[in-house]
Chain A
């Protein structure tokens, strides 16, 4: 069953096979809870993901089931987990970004508008390109939404989360209302404070060697990976531009051929074909690079941020701990409210210790996860680059042979191919 992307009465439907996504690895090797997104439906602005679960856990009502979920419901799940105090010592899997169909939608609009002025061939071609673009965006967004769920399901603590279970199982609409202005502003404020986090994290006196190293590493790595992700994106964009140019060249060659009635016409048509092939190959290089490299970097930029958030929470707890110590000393000096201060201090210390212990585990497994994911994606990207280069080389060789053979008539002489 190949991935397909087709249109039915204004909606776009995508079916995929599993294992398309590989940004994070080893996420589904525990058969007791297996989640994937086998298909998605795009209706105007709304994307409905089919979340499919297979489980042997008794906490679920059925061993296999599917529910439709929209992006907002993923965000709701993410936010409830972030807001759960218990999970302060864990790296919260980053929320998937909103599906961005702006590009293909613009093209769809152009297609609709220009339908009357286009030839049948041009229209069919543009439609085909449009489908490819939709498919590309689909793949990306399914990838990030699926990985989000798989991160949760493969984590010993998150997989037991009640809201997670509801998300997977509840077959009605979760009725997640859109954040109102106040909540959105609150979120904005939270993000503003994030830059203050950096100061807090770097400012706090660290006693633990491990966390000191992690802090230094994460702060530096975070800016580097963000930059690499942005540069990779620009590189991918350039590939797409080159593919676009090949497309225009091919079209222009065909137009020139159409008006021509000499021997030149056939040649122009062949050349148009060459550039069309080049375009397709360039497109594939671009989209593979995007999926394996750019998306990888984007994802881990978000994941690094989640790790930093953990450090922040721990730093906060450390600060609270220190404050509670000071408060206890003060209370002892004053001779007032000592018991309360003692209790407070005990709790702060407990919280801090818990965060540190769990944080250490999380950050260690995070590194392992990151390394494995990079390895897998770099290998796959490299293999695809090699494959595409070989296909391109082969196709160019074939065309070269055809064109040089034309010169020599029926002799079948290889011509300049000798030097290859």
Chain B
């Protein structure tokens, strides 16, 4: 069976002569089933401003913008004024910018104290701009408070970052490079994302603890961090899950929506973990590529020194320099791979745990309601029995208890209805946010790739005359 793809793979390589790239047609549609083949044409027709980029001209005049994302302020969700496309979609203006910076070492923890700066025009905040200092434990404290307040109501509370930043799937390729610089950046970036996600939640944004956290210069010292660590919260969530598993009465799910969604989230959990593992592998291999490129560069330089033909010697040295520069590009790309995609997936794996926790809370609520009903039934039976005995006070007590438990049953049913309603809304919001989050990340990732390729073109185009100069 022929493989047109494989065939054309080599057809491209075999330029009939060693002409420069200008002589070759740009192969836009080398995939017959390229869904974007039409789009490609659209691009050149509709947007004249894009012509200079698409044309196969000389070294790009476009000076690449400073690496868009992987400075120390990797604001994945930064809503700068330029990004009005999100606003257009949102309708509601969400004008809040949070940055976490200036990590400071306190004791053994290299990243314990940080500056938290808030810029906003929202009226619930007392000022437009405020900067405060926070400890890592403060973040954990905030999350613990929010979890205890809102989780049982069915709100998906964004999980706080873990204390130890180890890859969730623990993919190890080569030595684990946890230099403190990387660790600090990982944590800083994670805390920033955590806060942004938290304030995106309409209910949490209004929460007084959140407002206090963001605004007030002094915070009451958080309780022991052990119970508040991400792992601690996870344990709390797992306990709820265990409680659910131990339920002797299986929940009679009358609502197919919940059954379906729960199954979906179970599947999603598995798949995102797998996806996350693949991305972590990509990060590792990209780092390896960087190391191997640098190693080759050194080797090429040595070869150039050894080469006795002058022009070839010079070209080999130049090649070594190009490869060194490309090594740096690989490192930058590895950063993009990690901070954009890997961390997003990590965040979502943790978020899914929170979502599953919320479903479990609903089951707990239902169980409570069931228990109340059982109790009510017992009380009614007890009252019925007492009808025939001649104990008027006990009868009254029984009647009181029945009323009490009727109240509890009603409350339980209301709670259950409320949490079900909340979860539906939360899941809807989650699913909408999910689409946006992933798209934003992919867009930024593509930008990083374009930037890398731009640089690569620059470097290789500079090298080409050197190669041609070998006489």
Q: Inside 8 A of B431's CB, which chain A residues have their CB?
A: 262-264
B residues in contact with A342, CB < 8 Å: none
With A284-B9, A398-B36, A419-B65 given, is the CB distance from A379 to B450 under 8 Å? no
Instruction: State A244–B286 Cα separation when bound (angstroms).
Output: 11
Task: Take A386-B461, A408-B88 as given contacts and tell me if A245 and B285 are in contact as well, using a CB distance cutoff of 8 Å.
Answer: yes
Is A255 on the interface with B (CB-CB < 8 A)? yes
Kindly state whether residue A399 has any CB partner on chain B within 8 Å.
yes
| Cβ-based interface call for A396 (8 A) | yes
Q: Given A241-B288, A248-B281: A415 and B85 within 8 A (CB)?
A: yes
Chain B nearest Cβ from A345, distance in angstroms: 35
| Chain A residues with CB below 8 A from B421, complex form | none
Does A327 touch B at the CB level, under 8 Å? no
Name the CB-closest residue of A to B316.
A374
Separation of A33 and B8 alpha carbons in the complex (Å)? 30
**Stretch of B18-26, B100-108, B411-419 that contacts chain A:** B18-26
Across the interface, do B457 and A393 meet the contact criterion of CB distance under 8 Å? yes
Judge whether A6 and B1 touch: CB under 8 Å.
yes
B54 within 8 A of A: yes
CA distance A128 to B33 in the complex (A): 15
How many Å lie between the Cα of A227 and that of B299 in the bound state? 7
Partner of A374, one of B54, B65, B272, B312: B312
In the complex, A237 Cα to B26 Cα: how many Å? 27
Q: Is the CB of B275 within 8 A of A252?
A: yes
Interface 0/1 of B49-93, CB less than 8 Å to A = 110011010000010010010000000000000110110110000
**Are A389 and B306 in contact, with the CB atoms below 8 A?**
no
Q: Is A5 part of the binding interface, using a Cβ–Cβ cutoff of 8 Å? A: yes
| Contacting residue for A414 out of B49, B293, B319, CB 8 A | B49
Binds A, one of B39-47, B158-166, B185-193, B219-227: B39-47
Are B13's CB and A288's CB within 8 A?
Answer: yes
With A396-B449, A402-B36, A408-B85 in contact, do A224 and B6 touch (Cβ < 8 Å)? no
B254-281 interface bits toward A, Cβ cutoff 8 Å, 1 = contact, 0 = none: 0000000000100110011011001101
Contact check, A375 vs B453: say whether CB atoms are below 8 A apart.
no
Partner-binding segment picked from B148-156, B202-210, B462-470: B462-470
- How many angstroms from the CA of A259 to the CA of B443 in the assembled complex? 24
The residue among B16, B271, B311 with the most chain A CB atoms within 10 A of its own CB is B271
Q: Given the complex of chains A and B, what is the CA–CA distance between A412 and B46 in angstroms?
A: 9
Cα of A19 to Cα of B15 in the assembled complex, Å: 9
Contact flag A375-B312 (CB < 8 Å), given A6-B1, A132-B5? yes
Question: Is the beta-carbon distance between A220 and B306 smaller than 8 angstroms?
Answer: yes
Q: How large is the interface on A (under 10, 10 to 19, 20 to 34, 35 or more residues)?
A: 35 or more
Instruction: Chain A residues near B306: list those with CB within 8 A.
Output: 217, 220-221, 224-225
A384: chain B residues within 8 A (beta carbon)? 13
> Which single residue of chain A is at the shortest CB-CB distance from B439?
A403
Query: For the complex, is B460 an interface residue (Cβ under 8 Å from A)?
Result: yes
B289/A238 in contact, CB under 8 A: yes
A19 to B11, CA, bound (A): 11
Cβ of B309 within 8 Å of any chain A Cβ, yes or no, is yes
B residues in contact with A127, CB < 8 Å? 1
The reply to whether the CB of A400 lies closer than 8 angstroms to some CB of chain B is yes
Contact at B14–A259, with CB atoms within 8 Å? no
Are the C-beta atoms of B282 and A403 separated by less than 8 Å? no
* B14 in contact with A4 (CB, 8 Å): no
**A321, chain B: closest CB distance, angstroms:** 27
Given A228-B296, A245-B285, A249-B275, answer yes or no on A20-B10 (Cβ-Cβ < 8 Å): yes
How far apart are the CA atoms of A376 and B231 in the complex, in Å? 59
Q: How far is the CA of A331 from the CA of B460 in the complex (A)?
A: 67
Of A94-102, A267-275, A349-357, the stretch lying at the interface with chain B is A267-275
Inter-chain contacts of B295 with A (CB < 8 A): 231, 234-235
Q: For the complex, what is the distance from the CA of A390 to the CA of B455, rounded to whole Å?
A: 10
Contacts of B303 in A (CB 8 A): 221, 224-225, 227-228
A32 at the interface (CB under 8 A from B): no
Chain B: which residue is nearest A21 at the CB level? B14
Q: Is the CB of A394 within 8 A of B14?
A: no
Residues of B within 8 A of A224 (CB): 299, 302-303, 305-306
Instruction: Give 1 or 0 for each of B309-333: 1 = CB within 8 Å of chain A CB.
Output: 1011001100100000000000000
Q: How far is the CB of B75 from chain A (nearest CB, A)?
A: 14
User: A50 in the interface, Cβ–Cβ < 8 Å?
Assistant: no
- A392 CB–B CB distance under 8 Å: yes
**A256 contacts B312, C-beta separation under 8 Å:** no
Please determine whether B446 and A267 come into contact, CB atoms closer than 8 angstroms. Answer: no
Contact B26 A259 (CB under 8 A): no
Q: Is A313 an interface residue (CB 8 A)?
A: no
Q: Chain B residues with Cβ under 8 A from A232's Cβ?
A: 296, 299
Name, among B272, B285, B461, the residue most crowded by chain A CB atoms within 10 Å (CB to CB): B285
Provide the residues of chain A in CB contact with B53, threshold 8 Å: 397, 420
A158 at the interface (CB under 8 A from B): no
**A267-B83 Cα distance, complex, nearest whole Å:** 20
Shortest Cβ distance from B444 into A: residue: A416
CB distance from A400 to the nearest CB of B (A): 4
In chain A, positions 97-152 with a C-beta closer than 8 Å to chain B are: 127-128, 131-132, 135, 139
Using Cβ atoms and an 8 Å threshold, which residues of chain B touch A228?
Answer: 296, 299-300, 302-303
Say if the beta carbon of A27 comes within 8 Å of chain B: no
- With beta carbons under 8 angstroms apart, the residue of A242, A374, A398, A408 that contacts B285 is A242
Evaluate whether A382 and B464 lie within 8 angstroms (CB atoms) in the complex, with A3-B7, A217-B308, A420-B53 already known: yes
Partner of A135, one of B9, B54, B456: B9
Compute how far the CA of A255 lies from the CA of B272 in the bound complex, rounded to whole angstroms. Answer: 10
Set of chain A residues within 8 Å of B447, measured between Cβ atoms: 400, 416
Q: Is the C-beta of B292 less than 8 angstroms from some C-beta in chain A?
A: yes
Is the Cβ of B450 less than 8 Å from the Cβ of A393? yes
Task: State whether A413 touches B85 (Cβ < 8 A).
Answer: yes
- Asked if B249 CB lies within 8 Å of chain A CBs, one says no
> Can you report 29 residue pairs joining A to B where beta carbons are below 8 Å apart?
A3-B7, A132-B3, A135-B3, A139-B10, A217-B308, A227-B303, A235-B293, A237-B292, A246-B282, A256-B268, A256-B272, A256-B275, A259-B267, A259-B271, A262-B431, A264-B434, A271-B438, A375-B312, A379-B18, A386-B460, A387-B24, A389-B453, A390-B21, A397-B54, A398-B40, A401-B39, A401-B47, A416-B82, A420-B450
14 further A-B pairs in the complex, CB-CB below 8 A; given A220-B306, A227-B299, A398-B40: A17-B14, A128-B5, A235-B292, A245-B278, A256-B271, A259-B268, A382-B463, A386-B457, A387-B21, A396-B453, A398-B43, A414-B49, A416-B82, A419-B68
Residues on A lying within 8 angstroms of B by beta carbon are 2-7, 16-17, 19-20, 127-128, 131-132, 135, 139, 213, 217, 220-221, 224-225, 227-228, 230-232, 234-235, 237-239, 241-242, 244-246, 248-249, 252-253, 255-256, 259-264, 267-268, 271, 273-274, 277-278, 280, 284, 287-288, 291, 367, 370-371, 374-376, 378-380, 382-387, 389-394, 396-404, 406-409, 412-420
Q: Which 8 A/B pairs are nearest by Cβ-Cβ distance?
A: A238-B289, A245-B282, A393-B453, A407-B85, A131-B3, A375-B470, A231-B296, A252-B275
